Amino acid sequence: MPTLNDSLGKPIFNAIMAVLRAIFALFQSILHAILGVIQTCLAALGTTISGLAQIFEGLVKFILSNIVVVGIVLAGIFLYGAYTQQSGRAGSNKKLA
């Protein structure tokens, strides 16, 4: 026949273990929440970097695909500047006396 000490000891032990499990679950949920926030921040940073890389990739592709047009425009500007300087028209650096 169990004694009074034996019959009270087991429920008290179970109650203490339940409290400890609840405290552990609380800390575990807090840790999961913190790690979730960190993971979200890192994912946002990675998405931002990926977006910037795609923008620069598109810009480089655009410039390289239109390099002939850009070259023609720059050559035209250079030739126009040389022409106006040589003919003495507006845009030249000649001083009037």
Number of domains in the chain: 2
What token pair was written down for 37?
A: 């926030």
Asked if residue 97 has pLDDT above 50, the reply is no
User: Are 8 and 55 found together in one domain?
Assistant: yes
Q: What is the 3-state secondary structure (H, E, C) of the chain?
A: CCCHHHHHHHHHHHHHHHHHHHHHHHHHHHHHHHHHHHHHHHHHHHHHHHHHHHHHHHHHHHHHHCHHHHHHHHHHHHHHHHHHHHHCCCCCCCCCC
User: Are 40 and 80 found together in one domain?
Assistant: no
More confident residue, 13 or 26: 26
For 33-77, what is each residue's pLDDT tens digit?
Answer: 999 999 999 999 999 999 999 999 999 898 888 888 888 999 999
Q: What domain range includes position 70? A: 66-97
Q: What is the mean pLDDT of the chain?
A: 86
User: Are 79 and 94 found together in one domain?
Assistant: yes
What token pair was written down for 14?
A: 């179970």
User: Are 52 and 88 found together in one domain?
Assistant: no
Looking at residue 94, its pLDDT comes to 54
User: Are 70 and 56 found together in one domain?
Assistant: no
Q: Name the least confident of 1-5, 63-67, 91-95.
A: 91-95
